[in-house]
Chain A
Amino acid sequence: MSDRTRSAITLHANGDARALTVDNRRTLLDALRDDLGLTGAKKGCDHGQCGACTVLVNGRRVVSCLTLAAAADGSEVTTVEGLAGADRLSPLQEAFVRLDGLQCGFCTPGQLCSATAVLAEHAAGWPSAATRPDRPYAPGRPTPALDAAEIRERMSGNLCRCGAYPQIVRAVLEAARDTAAEHAHTPETGAADLEESHA
């Protein structure tokens, strides 16, 4: 194996800078699991279709099975192991436990990372395909609260073979309500910069 086919990289995994040398073929998922011992992210389909490998890279959810570790060099990576605070679970994790948002648990790390990002995306004013199309976009208007239809749409990249979807939606909804209380009346992204704002 020549040097051209390997890369020396640093991953900032859950706050720890970890230096490693990887074969360029190594996915971020395999690097996390096999090189860094972070086995929370799961290998389901390994083709970007199931979401079990979802992690946050620089704050955004991605599927780590289609992310090359070499291409993630220098990134901040948050896995399910990094979601909890020092002495307690995140509100989303607590909601999953309280509302039974899992059965076998294999998809849960991906569900949790994805849902964590869903709350952040919504707080930033990102729309989804479930955001009503008959409601014209108006810069500056507060983002509508997440409802079950929005959560189902935004979480559609995470499959659950046990079919725990009703409880997962409920858990995300509850966590979203807690988050919404903190972010009440947050305007949509970039609205303040819009010269076309009619608000």
Chain B
Amino acid sequence: MKEFAYLRPTRIHDALTAAAGRDDVRYLAGGTNLVDLMKDEVYRPAVLVDVRHLPLDGVRDAPDGGLVIGATTTNSDVAAHPHVRLRYPALSQAILAGASGQLRNMATVAGNLLQRTRCGYFADPSQPCNKRAPGSGCPAIAGEHHNHAILDWSEHCAATHASDMAVALAAFDAVVHYETLDGPGIVTLADLYLPPGTTPDRETTLPAGALITAVALPGAAASRRSRYRKVRERASYAFATVSAAASLDVRDGRVHDVRIALGGVAARPWRARHAEAVLAQQAATTEHFRAAARAELEAARPLRGNAYKVALAENLITAVLDDLAASHDGSAAPYDTQEGSR
């Protein structure tokens, strides 16, 4: 690991100033991804700016019935927060489906959003990688790619975004707030990530030196009936092969409001807007759920070794919507407290 200076500012302005105009400065939060990549010399920063002593920690209620989650709130604290569990259960479930208890205690909301892909070629500086070393090539396209993207990848990069949390945030129309020396800004989660295109090294639309300060979740009654489901290669502590976050509001047997996002299929959390449009006002049946999933996945272009993800994503969307529709039957409203204890 290369030597670096360590700064611990307590004011946002000081953090921004330390990073301004430099590409060898990195913000340090939980460090679970950053320190690991520094050990592998994928990152060689000259300065680390520890942002965990900035006043960016905690979850608070927003006037619109939503929540504002501070950037340095740990994944554990978000997942356990009563208002998150009540109003956005898929967000709590998504976080708990990722990493381990130790890592969730360290990892922060902003760090989770800005984590790097787990493509093995990216993490290995002895290999070419257009994301790490632009122009050097992408060995994954012809090589090991069984867990790579099926949607919106390019010949330059087929890596996926590794976050579970961001998939739920995408389904809930989250908005990312950030600060720069020129003032604050916002970007929707849908617009935060760039497709790989010809510049897979450029992953977000954040201005240089920007510091994420919070993630805001809009108030939405439908989010209470939401679920996250993840398929992975072992029962726990593994990245997704495919995951799905969804919320569903059925009225008189028809889809009144549906939100669907997929993980493990693209360089960003994949909001399935096409499937949502197909389902609008349709009868809430398994057949319609599957047809909507198929419509979304018409755009899929699997690689030689990951075609299984297309069928998996179709089945997963169908199953999650089926589960949510079934929860409309009987008495199990999402905030019903009358059912028996476990």
Contact = CB atoms under 8 A, between A and B. Distances in A.
A101 interface: no
A136 B48 CA distance: 41
Given A5-B3, A135-B342, A47 B39 contact: yes
Given A138-B335, A144-B341, A48 B36 contact: yes
Interface stretch (A13-21, A90-98, A166-174, A185-193): A185-193
A138 B106 contact: no
Contact of B5 (A4, A48, A141, A199): A4
B228 to A, nearest CB: 8
B35 A66 contact: yes
Nearest to A64: B102
Given A129-B236, A157-B102, A67 B86 contact: no
Contact of A54 (B5, B102, B236): B102
- The dominant DSSP class at the A interface is loop
A51 to B, nearest CB: 6
A66 to B, nearest CB: 5
Instruction: Point out which of B39, B79, B100, B106 has the most chain A C-beta atoms below 10 A from its C-beta.
Output: B100
Interface string B1-17: 10111101000000000
Interface in A113-152: 114, 117-118, 121, 124-129, 131-142, 144, 152
B96 A129 contact: yes
A47 to B, nearest CB: 6
Contacts of B80: 124-127, 189
B30 to A, nearest CB: 8
A167 B168 CA distance: 36
Given A71-B52, A118-B101, A47 B36 contact: yes
Nearest to A55: B102
B342 A51 contact: no
Interface in B21-59: 28, 31-32, 35-36, 39, 48, 50, 52
A139 B86 contact: yes
A194 B8 CA distance: 34
Give the size category of A's interface with B.
35 or more
Interface residues of B, number: 51
B227 interface: yes
A137 B28 contact: no
B28 A67 contact: no
Contacts of B237: 156-157
A123 B341 CA distance: 17
Contact of B93 (A5, A46, A67, A129): A129
A159 B85 CA distance: 29
Contacts of B20: none
A137 B101 contact: no
B197 interface: no
A127 B96 contact: yes
B48 A135 contact: no
- 7 smallest A-B Cβ distances: which pairs? A157-B100, A156-B236, A138-B337, A4-B5, A156-B237, A144-B342, A137-B85
Interface of B: 1, 3-6, 8, 28, 31-32, 35-36, 39, 48, 50, 52, 76, 79-83, 85-86, 89, 92-93, 96-97, 99-103, 105-106, 227, 229, 235-237, 323, 327, 332-337, 339, 341-342
Given A1-B3, A70-B6, 18 more contacts: A5-B4, A5-B5, A47-B36, A47-B39, A66-B35, A118-B101, A121-B101, A134-B327, A137-B82, A137-B85, A138-B336, A139-B82, A144-B342, A152-B235, A156-B100, A156-B236, A190-B81, A191-B82
13 contacts: A5-B5, A24-B3, A67-B35, A71-B8, A118-B101, A126-B79, A127-B96, A128-B96, A136-B332, A137-B85, A137-B86, A156-B235, A190-B82
